[in-house]
Amino acid sequence: MAYYVKIRGKAFGPFDDVQIQDLIQKGKVGKTTEISQDRVNWTRAEENEMLFPKTAAAQSIPQPPATEPQIPGQWYYSNDGQTGYGPYAGSTIAQMIRSGQILANSLLWQENGQPEQAQRIPAFHSVFYPPNTSVYSGVSQNVQPNVPPSIPTPSITDIPREKISDVFLFTAENIQKILLSPIFWVVMVLGVLPLVIISVDDPSGYLPLVGMLFFFGFLWGGIFRSLVIKSNDKLYIPITAMFFTGIIGLAFLLPLTNLYMRITEHDNLILSLLGFIFGVGICEELCKIAPVGIYMIVMLICQKKPSLTMILLIGVFSGLGFSVYENKQYVENHIIKTLLKLDDAQNAEDVIHTIIDGIMSAMILVMLRSLTCVFGHAVWSGIFSYFIAMSYQFPRRVFLYLPLGLGITAFLHGFYDWLFILQPTYPAFIAVASFVLFYGYCIKVRSYMEPHPLVIS
């Protein structure tokens, strides 16, 4: 015969006769538990005489008289170890035990007390284990108590599986959940990888510095890919673009740096701004967009359709690579300037102040360029990449989109650098405007990639 059991509103089963008796013996099914054989009609388990036989001796047991010793205090109980009920008076708890609503292994506790199995609490011993001699009038000495006195102590195998996993976390099921969780790996890498990077044995400190700069570069790359662009494209092409721009692109750009940087240092603010826009902005954005152009040419030669989100990813990672290597050069230049200042120091106190100032400013420079400047370069090259993607989507507008993309990014980039010289707070507004623009462009790109229903007019 098959039985279904309802616990906390959920139906479990079917259980055969042996299984249901085992559940009763373990205290998981009590007299008040709802059972059914068809999952439609539910009754209390005590109403089924095959599960809870009503013997003549049991029927003849009268209720205890009012003179029964009172159990002091207010009590709470729980049958499953999770949901508690109460408070109830001690006498009410005793009645619930006799009716089978509270079982021998149910938990009882008082306010601010520790839960304990009901059968182990001295105050309720007389309820579970009545003496052999009659306490109540009319009760035979041969009447057995409602719970056998020799209840075995629960072993580890009697504890439900979910309770074991609460204590012993490293079960096969939990380990599988941990290893398959992307959030686990992301957080662990963020917390552990920097420790691995700085442990690299390099007396000059060059390798740990480059490692940390790349760490922040890849961190931003993951944020842009997952949260901003929301792309599922493979990363081997964007990462290749990252190293290509940082190594090869900057090598070609460095000879031009002295030319346009002279204009940016002009005393006239207007000429300085033009130098940043037409020098720094145009040259550096063209350098960063080169991998995107190479990708488009390769797709054209192979007669393959490029992915619009891949175009954005390549642009973003190219900007990250540019920024990582540029940051390295800025830190190296800052250290050289600090060492040169030591030559002007007049005494030991000046040397100490120069060293401290150099270290503090270097720390600020590394944090600023690793967080904000990396972000800015990625956003600007991402904006330019959007216009290249739109040029592919609408080929007739290519001569409009390409100059427009270069112009917008060169202006934002140059204006940002120019404002930074005037006051470091002002560039924050340019960074906000740039990201709002890029985020909107990402939404636009995703809308072109979503399938649209065919409308027949």
pLDDT tens, position by position, 150-166: 334 444 444 455 455 55
Residue 270 shares a structural domain with residue 381: yes
**pLDDT given for residue 296 in this prediction:** 95
Pairing of strands 3-7, 10-15: antiparallel
Structural domain count, the chain? 4
Considering the domain boundaries, does residue 457 fall inside one?
no
Residue 308 shares a structural domain with residue 430: yes
Residue 380 shares a structural domain with residue 255: yes
**pLDDT 10s digits, 270-315:** 989 998 999 899 999 999 999 999 999 999 999 999 999 999 999 9
Q: Are 320 and 301 in contact (CB under 8 A)?
A: no
Mean pLDDT of the chain: 80
**pLDDT given for residue 165 in this prediction:** 52
Ramachandran assignment for 268, one of left (phi > 0), alpha (psi -120 to 50 degrees), beta (any other):
beta
Residue 308 shares a structural domain with residue 351: yes
Considering the domain boundaries, does residue 347 fall inside one?
yes
**pLDDT given for residue 186 in this prediction:** 86
**pLDDT given for residue 240 in this prediction:** 95
Residue 292 shares a structural domain with residue 404: yes
**pLDDT given for residue 147 in this prediction:** 40
**pLDDT given for residue 61 in this prediction:** 47
If you count them, how many residues does the chain have?
Answer: 457
Considering the domain boundaries, does residue 456 fall inside one?
no
Q: Are 5 and 11 in contact (CB under 8 A)?
A: yes
**pLDDT 10s digits, 397-408:** 999 999 999 999
**pLDDT 10s digits, 211-254:** 888 888 899 999 999 999 999 899 999 999 999 998 898 888 87
Instruction: Examine the pLDDT at 256 and tell me if it is beyond 50.
Output: yes
Q: Which domain holds residue 432?
A: 200-446
- Residue bearing the bigger pLDDT, 49 or 134: 49
Identify the DSSP state of 417: H
Which has the closest alpha carbon to 269: 414, 413, 422? Answer: 422
Which has the closest alpha carbon to 249: 260, 262, 240? Answer: 240
Which has the closest alpha carbon to 318: 384, 252, 365, 259? Answer: 384
Q: Are 123 and 90 in contact (CB under 8 A)?
A: yes
Residue 439 shares a structural domain with residue 367: yes
pLDDT range class, residue 54, cuts 50, 70, 90: low
pLDDT range class, residue 48, cuts 50, 70, 90: confident
pLDDT range class, residue 149, cuts 50, 70, 90: very low
| pTM score of the predicted model | 0.60
Instruction: Examine the pLDDT at 137 and tell me if it is beyond 60.
Output: no
Residue 310 shares a structural domain with residue 380: yes
Residue 166 shares a structural domain with residue 242: no
Burial environment of residue 423 by CB neighbours within 10 A (0 to 12, 13 to 18, 19 or more): exposed
* Rounded mean pLDDT, 126-134: 64
**pLDDT given for residue 373 in this prediction:** 83
At 87 the three-state DSSP class reads: strand
**pLDDT given for residue 237 in this prediction:** 95
Structure tokens at 445: 């790109």
**pLDDT given for residue 40 in this prediction:** 78
**pLDDT 10s digits, 97-117:** 888 888 888 888 888 788 888
Residue 138 shares a structural domain with residue 213: no
Instruction: Examine the pLDDT at 415 and tell me if it is beyond 50.
Output: yes
Cα–Cα dist 424/416, whole Å: 10
Residue 228 shares a structural domain with residue 184: no
Instruction: Examine the pLDDT at 145 and tell me if it is beyond 70.
Output: no
Instruction: Examine the pLDDT at 414 and tell me if it is beyond 90.
Output: yes
Considering the domain boundaries, does residue 44 fall inside one?
yes
Considering the domain boundaries, does residue 111 fall inside one?
yes
Instruction: Examine the pLDDT at 374 and tell me if it is beyond 80.
Output: yes
Residue 14, preceding bond cis, omega within 30 degrees? yes
**pLDDT given for residue 338 in this prediction:** 79
Which has the closest alpha carbon to 279: 314, 253, 251, 305? Answer: 253
* Rounded mean pLDDT, 80-106: 83
Cα–Cα dist 197/235, whole Å: 22
**pLDDT given for residue 55 in this prediction:** 57
Q: Which of 93, 120, 152 is the last residue of a domain?
A: 152
Least trusted range by pLDDT, from 200-204, 247-251, 434-438: 200-204
- Residue bearing the bigger pLDDT, 58 or 124: 124
Residue 285 shares a structural domain with residue 342: yes
Considering the domain boundaries, does residue 261 fall inside one?
yes
Q: Where are the alpha helices (DSSP H) in 89-181?
A: 90-99, 125-128, 161-167, 172-179
Considering the domain boundaries, does residue 453 fall inside one?
no
**pLDDT 10s digits, 181-196:** 888 888 898 889 888 8
Structure tokens at 190: 């963020």
Instruction: Examine the pLDDT at 382 and tell me if it is beyond 90.
Output: yes
Considering the domain boundaries, does residue 398 fall inside one?
yes
Burial environment of residue 100 by CB neighbours within 10 A (0 to 12, 13 to 18, 19 or more): middle
Residue 224 shares a structural domain with residue 345: yes
Cα–Cα dist 181/199, whole Å: 27
Place of tokens 């390549």: 314
Task: Residue 112: give its domain's CATH number.
Answer: 3.30.1490
